[in-house]
Amino acid sequence: MITNIVAASGVRVHEIYKSFPVPDAPGTSRLALGGISFSIAAGELVSLVGPSGCGKSTLLRLVAGLDFPDTGELLVGEERIVGPSAERGLVFQDPNLFPWLTVRRNIEAGLVARGVLREKRSEVDEFMRLVALEAFANAYPHHLSGGMAQRVALARALINHPKVLLLDEPLGALDAFTRMRMQDEVLCLWENRRTTMLLVTHDIDESIYMSDRILIMTQAPGQIDREIDIDLARPRDRTSDSFLRFRSEILEHLHFAGKAADLPA
């Protein structure tokens, strides 16, 4: 078990605006993010939920440093984000494993990229064990199931001991059972390592089950609409009254509760 806890960092997002050109109408642009501010404490697990197209993934890319805001400030700890870095790991919905590398070499990729493979080779084995994939060390990604591939992607991101782990619907493509098991695995990784995590998800149950705090976003332009603290002890019971209360609160907020009555006949 990897116990060396890396100093996690908080994230501060201040008044972020981001627009994209509209492909059909040259010269015009659409505001994707309209003044977003929030902060995440070091070691906190925060979910970002909201309708599709509200700019959740855009926001995550900005924090990852893969894209830049029009205005506003992004800080990790005390440092401004100026580009991608191994300190901020990113896991997508598609595991995006390098298909030309075996499982083991995929997990090593971060060490190779930073040129520290020689010193840290022993960690590769630890991470393979951590995600229970020793038996598949020499398999190529196309032999893996969706859940296994996502575990490799998690291990690949974690091997750099990132201060912040950004998760863009990492379990969105998995079936319901695998997804629930993986939620526990991600929580286990988080509890062991206390990495700051920002989780983008469509799944309201997932956000309640996993996070310390939920940020609800609205659409066009994307804004943080509401923050909900989930003050339930872990492991959480998905069928408890308090769990279901949070659920209906969020659904109501997103106008999905009892919507049937409003639908045109």
Partner 1 sequence: MNADAAVTHKRSTLPWPMQLAVPVASLITFGTHLLIAQKAPPLETRSYMLLFWEIVGVSIVLAIAQRFWPALRKWMRHIWPIFTAAILLIGVWDVITAGLHLLPLPYFPGPAVILRSLISDRALLFDSTWHSLVLLLSGYILGVIVGLISGVCIGWSSSVRYWGMPVLKVVGPIPATAWIPLAMVVAPSSTVSAVGLIALAVWFPVTMLTASGISNTRASYLDVARTLGAGPFYLIFRVAIPAAVPNIFIGLFMGLGASFLTLVVAESVGVKSGLGWYLSWAQGWAEYGKVFAALIIMAGFFSTVMTLLFKLRDRVLVWQKGIIKW
Residue 48 near residue 200, CB atoms below 8 Å: yes
What part of residues 155-174 is at the interface with partner 1 (CB under 8 A)?
A: 156-157, 160, 166
E strands of the chain, at which residues? Answer: 11-21, 29-40, 45-49, 71-76, 79-80, 88-91, 164-168, 196-201, 213-218, 223-229
Q: How far apart are CA 243 and CA 253, in angstroms?
A: 16
Cβ-based nearer residue to partner 1, 162 or 221: 162
Only segment of 59-67, 117-125, 198-206, 244-252 that touches partner 1 (CB under 8 A) = 59-67
Cβ-based nearer residue to partner 1, 91 or 182: 91
Residue 196 sits at the vertex; the CA angle it makes with 200 and 215, to the nearest 5 degrees, is: 40
Only segment of 57-65, 126-134, 186-194, 247-255 that touches partner 1 (CB under 8 A) = 57-65
Site string for partner 1, 117-156 (x = CB under 8 A): -----------------------xxx-------------x
Residue 50 near residue 216, CB atoms below 8 Å: yes
DSSP code of residue 42: T
Cβ-based nearer residue to partner 1, 168 or 205: 168
Residue 208 near residue 246, CB atoms below 8 Å: yes
Q: How far apart are CA 227 and CA 253, in angstroms?
A: 11
- Count CB atoms within 10 A of the CB of residue 177: 9
CB crowding 4-26: b at 16 or more within 10 Å, else e: eeeebbbbbbeebebeeeeeeee
41 binds partner 1 (CB under 8 A): no
Cβ-based nearer residue to partner 1, 98 or 256: 98
64 binds partner 1 (CB under 8 A): yes
Cβ-based nearer residue to partner 1, 161 or 193: 161
Contact pick of 89, 170, 221, 222 for partner 1 (by CB under 8 A): 89
Contact pick of 80, 114, 129, 259 for partner 1 (by CB under 8 A): 114
88 binds partner 1 (CB under 8 A): yes
Question: Number of residues in contact with partner 1, rule: CB under 8 A?
Answer: 30
Q: Is 21 helix (H, G, I), strand (E, B) or coil?
A: strand
Q: Is 71 helix (H, G, I), strand (E, B) or coil?
A: strand
CB of 263 to partner 1, least distance (A): 37
79-80 and 71-76 beta bridge pairing: antiparallel
Cβ-based nearer residue to partner 1, 103 or 208: 103
188 binds partner 1 (CB under 8 A): no
CB of 46 to partner 1, least distance (A): 18
- Contact residues toward partner 1 (CB under 8 A) are 61, 64-66, 83-86, 88-90, 92, 94, 96, 98-101, 109-110, 112-114, 140-142, 156-157, 160, 166
